[in-house]
Amino acid sequence: MKIKWYGHAAFKITTDKGVKIIIDPYQSGAFGGALSYGKISEEADIVLTSHDHDDHNYTKDIKGTFTQIKKPGPHNVKDVIIKAVPTHHDPSKGKERGDNLVFLIETDGLRLAHMGDLGHKLEKGTLEEIGKVDIVLLPVGGFYTIDASEATRVMNDLKPSIVIPMHYKTKKCNFPIASVDEFIAGKKGVKKTNTSEIEISKSTIPTEPEIIVMEYAL
């Protein structure tokens, strides 16, 4: 599969069969310009939105005829198995910021989890529901989501082969959140790429855990 990071929590997954999945597309210029990543205007077959906030649910620029998934439960679209696991956007069971979906995508012999705007550590039941994952797209910036310390706990609980940090402060995200540096500080296996797109297959999954810091595309 190919994984492209647009910026913030927005990714495009392209399967080996060419199925295009866009996850958590943001509205460019949202929140008074605090989110200034460029418009996501590529085609998609499937769009996943973890919750209804403008930095995660904006589909109007996406091209093509797509199936949107924004409800919990199992889904099967174009032979891609997707499970949306209910979680919360805060540590108060959604009382502060509402609910959140963790998306599990199973394709090409791999299991990828996009954690959305996860706002709390994962309970035993949720960990069991998620199960074994190869790749985790993990928010690390804090304030609106789990912070670096909590993200480390989630990473250690899930034990993926690859973690890709997301939802952190950059030159195009002026939210009151931390940069990725706080999360990666002191950790082993950190790899910084100079690209917004990587390709991962079952045969190339690393034997030792890696944290891959990508460049945003837009």
Separation of alpha carbons 44 and 64, rounded Å: 6
pLDDT tens per residue across span 106-128: 999 999 999 999 999 999 999 99
Q: What 3-state class would DSSP assign to 197?
A: strand
Q: What percent of the chain has pLDDT over 70?
A: 100
In this prediction, residue 141 carries a pLDDT of: 98
- Averaged pLDDT, 18-45: 97
Residue 176 pLDDT more than 90? yes
Percent above pLDDT 90 for the chain:
96
Please, what is the average pLDDT of the chain?
97
- Is residue 94 predicted with pLDDT exceeding 90? no
3-state class (DSSP) for residue 99: strand
Instruction: Please state the rounded mean pLDDT for residues 50-74.
Output: 96
Q: Give residue 189's region: left, alpha or beta (phi > 0; psi -120 to 50).
A: left
User: Mind listing the domains of the chain with CATH numbers?
Assistant: 2-213 (3.60.15.10)
| Stretch 183-207: mean pLDDT | 97
Instruction: Let me know: does 122 contact 130? Beta carbons within 8 Å.
Output: yes
9/24 Cα distance (integer angstroms): 6
Res. 93 pLDDT band, cuts 50 70 90: confident
**Kind plus residue range of the DSSP H or E element containing 58:** none
pLDDT digits (tens, 9 = 90+) for 127-164: 999 999 999 999 999 999 999 999 999 999 999 999 99
